[in-house]
């Protein structure tokens, strides 16, 4: 049974949301909420990390709370985005290091990136984690905001796609499901979506020829249905003049599913980011992202009262999402 297929097993009554624990151990109130709300999975942040044995115990608690094998993800990209840090865990170079290396020696860059990915995967598995929000497939531009910066491999979309696909293959071979981000591309954004809503005024043709390329490269590969993708909280007027991509049915259907050809599981970026503040409370945002075509809404802050509110608004996993998980096999 593939990992995505195992996630689908007994998940028919799961809520289409990813929740986050507040600390290194579950409180009784969290256990009760997770048991009753039954989120599809969880995401781990540094606030919930002490050491490998503790993290493995927490992951076991999370699975016990929902009563099934479930996704437990983390952001472990290397560089400055790493929830598992030295000296307990290894430190890894940022993506840009491998992109720069590839200009002079691509085989060496791919080799070293592959070793890095397999090492990260081994550490994640040992700690009970089964998904990683990596690789970043955003294409560097002169205007790229520092929130992406060296997290991106290169300004060459073909190279970003090639390196990103290698990372996806290596994670999957090691039992970790990768999440490519931030679809359909964050590289042109000049603002941090954690703090405000970026607006990207590029034409559809410009984005087709650059930003979409790495995502299309992975989506069309032999592992395209097995990887997950994370949406960008960005307003692209050429795609939808009114709504950010995460909340746009038109942009998700037309761009992500049709033009890019991605038919795997699509999760929203964190709905508590300020980019979505104009679009309602957290429950409204989560429900809107599902209505727009995201398979799962992601909530990262870990506040119990907010998760309780979200649980009132988010529907169960759809039949379409379950089929996507099963098709990934």
Instruction: Give residue-wise pLDDT tens across range 296-324.
Output: 999 999 999 999 999 999 999 999 999 99
The DSSP output letter for 275 is G
Q: Average pLDDT in the 86-104 region?
A: 97
H/E element, 101? helix 95-104
Q: Does the pLDDT value for residue 189 go beyond 90?
A: yes
Q: Does the pLDDT value for residue 160 go beyond 90?
A: yes
State both tokens at 43. Answer: 């995401």
Could you give the CA distance from residue 10 to residue 120 in angstroms, rounded to a whole number? Answer: 29
Secondary structure (3-state) at 316: strand
Which residues 6+ apart lie within 8 Å of 57 measured at CB? 25, 128
**Residue of 211, 269, 270, 295 with catalytic role:** 269
**Residue of 194, 253, 258, 277 with catalytic role:** 194
Tokens 């955003």 belong to 138
Q: Does the pLDDT value for residue 10 go beyond 60?
A: yes
- Residue pair 237/305 in contact (Cβ under 8 Å)? The answer is no
- Residue pair 315/12 in contact (Cβ under 8 Å)? The answer is no
Q: Which domains does the chain show, CATH number per domain?
A: 3-327 (3.20.20.300)
Q: Average pLDDT in the 210-236 region?
A: 98
State both tokens at 135. Answer: 């690789």
Could you give the CA distance from residue 29 to residue 100 in angstroms, rounded to a whole number? Answer: 47
Q: Does the pLDDT value for residue 32 go beyond 60?
A: yes
DSSP string, 159-176: HHHHHHHHHHHHHHHTT-
Based on the residue annotation, tell me whether 194 is a catalytic residue of this protein.
Answer: yes
What's the mean per-residue pLDDT of the chain?
Answer: 97
């Amino acid at each position: 049974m593939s990992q995505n297929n195992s996630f689908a097993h007994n998940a028919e009554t799961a809520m289409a949301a990813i929740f986050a624990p507040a600390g290194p151990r579950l409180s009784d109130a969290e256990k009760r909420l997770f048991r009753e709300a039954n989120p599809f999975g969880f995401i781990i942040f540094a606030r919930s990390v002490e050491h490998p044995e503790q993290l493995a115990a927490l992951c076991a608690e999370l699975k016990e709370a929902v009563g099934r094998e479930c996704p437990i993800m983390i952001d472990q990209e290397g560089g400055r985005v790493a929830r598992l840090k030295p000296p307990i865990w290894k430190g890894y170079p940022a993506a840009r290091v491998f992109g720069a290396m590839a200009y002079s020696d691509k085989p060496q860059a791919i080799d070293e990136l592959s070793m890095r990915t397999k090492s990260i995967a081994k550490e994640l598995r040992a700690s009970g984690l089964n998904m990683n929000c990596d690789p970043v497939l955003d294409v560097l531009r002169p205007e790229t905001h520092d929130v992406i910066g060296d997290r991106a491999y290169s300004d060459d979309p073909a190279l970003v796609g090639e390196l990103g696909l290698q990372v996806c293959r290596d994670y999957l071979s090691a039992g970790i499901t990768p999440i490519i981000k931030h679809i359909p591309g964050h590289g042109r954004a000049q603002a941090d979506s954690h703090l405000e809503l970026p607006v990207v005024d590029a034409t559809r043709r410009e984005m087709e020829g650059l930003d979409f390329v790495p995502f299309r490269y992975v989506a069309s590969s032999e592992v395209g249905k097995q990887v997950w993708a994370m949406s960008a909280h960005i307003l692209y007027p050429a795609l939808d003049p009114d709504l950010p991509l995460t909340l746009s049915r038109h942009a998700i259907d037309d761009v992500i599913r049709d033009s890019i050809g991605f038919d795997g599981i699509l999760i929203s970026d964190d709905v508590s980011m300020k980019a979505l503040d104009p679009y309602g409370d957290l429950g409204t945002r989560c429900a809107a992202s599902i209505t727009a075509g995201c398979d799962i809404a992601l909530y990262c802050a870990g506040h119990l009262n907010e998760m309780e509110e979200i649980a009132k608004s988010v529907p169960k996993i759809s039949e379409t999402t379950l089929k996507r998980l099963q098709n990934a096999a």
